Each structure stands twice: as C-alpha cells, then as structure tokens.
Amino acid sequence: MQSFDNLLDKKVLRFRPNSFGREYSLQRPLTIVFPVAIMNQLKAIYNPSLERGGLFELSATESKLTCVAFHQVLGSNNATSYNPNKTLWSEKIRQIVDRGNLPLAVHTHPTKIGMHAYDSKQVRFYLKSSRPDRLIADKIITDNLVMPEAIFVKDERFGTGYGLALYEGGIFPYAISAVSDTQLVILLGTGILMAINKLSRKALYLLMGWFLFEFLRRPKYDYDGGGNLKIKISF
C-alpha cells in the first residue's frame, strides 16, 4: 500500500483509520493553484460535443498544491460520459504518485449536445456534477487515497474563457453551488418554523451559527489577472 506520509508533513493530507487500514484525504486549510498554461492545454483538447479528460498532477508545498501538469488519458468517450482506458489510467496514476505528487481526475462537460438550448442555460450549469460523476468521486483514486474530482468547461461566457469546478473528496461540496442551495433550503425551513412558533430562540441562534460557519468554510475560487485559478479552502 502506497504511503503518503511525506504529504502529511506538508499539511496537505490527513489520514483517518478505516476498515482497510487508513485512508488519506485533503486537509484544511489549503490553497490549490491551477496555472493558466495548464488551463490552456485543456482548452486545446476541449470538444463542445464530446466528454474528454485525464489527470491533473499536483505538487505539494506547505498547505499548498500547485498543478504542474495535465495528462490526457484517452478512452471510449461520448457526449455524456468519459471512459478512460483503465490500463492507461492506472499507469498514469502510479507515475504521478511515484514522483511524490497527487493525481486529481478531471473531465470536460460539453455545452452542445442537443439536450437543451445552449443559450437558455447559465454557463455555470455545465459545471454541475452529474449523478454518475458523484458516484465515481465517492470512490478512492488509489487504494488508500480520496481526492476531489474536477469538471472543465471552455466557454467565452466565463471571463477567463474557461470554468473549473472541484467536487467531493471529503472537502468540496458535490457541486459548485451546492452549499448555497442547501443553505437556502435551511433558511426557508427556519423561516417557516419561526412563523409557526415552533423554533426556540436558542435553536435559531444555533442554526444561524451553523449557516455562517458553512458559508465561511466553502471553497473560494479566484482568478488573477492572468487567468490563473486559485482555490482557497479555509480552516
């Protein structure tokens, strides 16, 4: 079983016991940087009517991961799924891990597959993980490592010409808008309970505290002037 203990020292991973021994996952606080040069590589392979993908290679320094490469992995892809060749996929992961780096799976979402009128959707819609996406992301990428996954969309409606969203991995919500969606539902529920006098003042303060805590903890996406993406995850 692969050891990632050197990445525990750099405060990018944590581990917890599980039924198989132990499992590594990302830890807070953390910054993940995706340089524009690598985003341009994804733009170059992007196909608006076909899913494509591969693996990002992330290099660690203290509480920070920097994407140093994108490795495309070919397979039998179509408009609604990305199916990388399993042998090539495992081989690429092994090479990344052997270099002391972390693999992060990425696939593109097409914007023109005829299921809905392209312009009727907000561009962020295409960055949402599908149900199959989430089922895959729940599984470990190596036998003892859990990582988030990424969705990439090339579109001029994003200021930078692309959008990238990370989900799951025990540290990201299942979709870029998921935290705010959940919070809206809870706020609405709280409002209804208050209106019918079913909620004590103490319970209300607890809910407000949780709301603020989750809001502050959500990953923040920032693009610098050059189009480099910096994702910050606080405490």
Phi, psi of 81 (to 5 degrees): -150, 155
* Identity of the residue, 133 or 168, whose beta carbon is nearer to Zn ion in the bound complex: 133
The DSSP element (H or E) to which 54 belongs, if any, is strand 53-61
Smallest distance, Zn ion to C-beta of residue 91, A: 23
Residues 58/101, Cβ–Cβ less than 8 Å: yes
Cα separations (Å) of 102 from 6, 67, 212?
Answer: 12, 9, 31
Work out whether 133 is an interface residue with Zn ion (CB under 5 A): yes
Cα separations (Å) of 157 from 33, 102, 115, 165?
Answer: 22, 31, 19, 15
* Identity of the residue, 12 or 166, whose beta carbon is nearer to Zn ion in the bound complex: 166
Region of 110-118, 124-132, 187-195, 215-223 interacting with Zn ion (CB under 5 A): 124-132
26-45: contacts with Zn ion (CB under 5 A): none
Smallest distance, Zn ion to C-beta of residue 190, A: 33
Smallest distance, Zn ion to C-beta of residue 16, A: 27
Cα separations (Å) of 231 from 35, 156, 223, 228?
Answer: 11, 21, 9, 10
Work out whether 168 is an interface residue with Zn ion (CB under 5 A): no
Residues 85/75, Cβ–Cβ less than 8 Å: yes
* Identity of the residue, 94 or 112, whose beta carbon is nearer to Zn ion in the bound complex: 112
Work out whether 57 is an interface residue with Zn ion (CB under 5 A): no
* Identity of the residue, 24 or 152, whose beta carbon is nearer to Zn ion in the bound complex: 152
Determine how many CB atoms are found less than 10 A away from the CB of residue 87: 9
Phi, psi of 190 (to 5 degrees): -60, -45
**Count of residues touching Zn ion (by CB under 5 A):** 2
The structure tokens listed for 1 are 């079983």
Smallest distance, Zn ion to C-beta of residue 133, A: 4
* Identity of the residue, 67 or 165, whose beta carbon is nearer to Zn ion in the bound complex: 165
Region of 122-130, 166-174, 180-188, 196-204 interacting with Zn ion (CB under 5 A): 122-130
Q: Write each residue from 190 to 219 as x if it is in contact with Zn ion (CB under 5 A), else as -, in one continuous string.
A: ------------------------------
The site for Zn ion (CB under 5 A) is made up of 130, 133
